[in-house]
Amino acid sequence: MKQAVIKTPLGFTKIVGDESGISSITVLEERLKEDEIIPSELEEAVRQLKEYFAGDRNNFTFTLNPEGTDFQKKVWKELLEIPFGKTTSYLELSKKIGDVKAIRAVAAANGKNPLWIIVPCHRVIGSDGSLTGYAGGLWRKKWLLEHESPSPQQKLF
């Protein structure tokens, strides 16, 4: 596996993958140095992430290869269906995977998402419209939702 660290408006981000695709994108809490040389297997992911943060991209086209259980992958696949600039609730997500009683399992799978931003777990909010737990911190979730908002002059939260 190859890896690269880039600087984003939300902190340093580590990208891990190989010729089979990107397996992990995580935001780091510690301050690091941005890698000057990006492995060729990761160049497209780095380019697209930088475009996203610059406001020039709202979807990603590089190959994903995350590790997880079948259930987690089912939830992550459903997360990919949430349109840019839109949100859904854990309850709605549970309904879409076919089991409204699986809301806690859906929330747990959402929290285990290894592909920060790309698989948009930040687009899942509480049924009452509130911001709910986010592994990267609620301030990052708020930033991402406002970044993706179709009306950037207004604050969502």
Q: Catalytic residue positions?
A: 121
Q: Are 107 and 142 in contact (CB under 8 A)?
A: no
Spatial separation of the C-alpha atoms in residues 107 and 39, rounded to whole Å: 33
**Contact status, residue 17 vs residue 44, Cβ threshold 8 Å:** no
Q: Which runs of E-coded beta strand occur in the chain?
A: 2-8, 11-18, 21-27, 88-89, 124-125
Residues 6+ apart with CB under 8 A from 116: 13, 25, 26, 27, 136
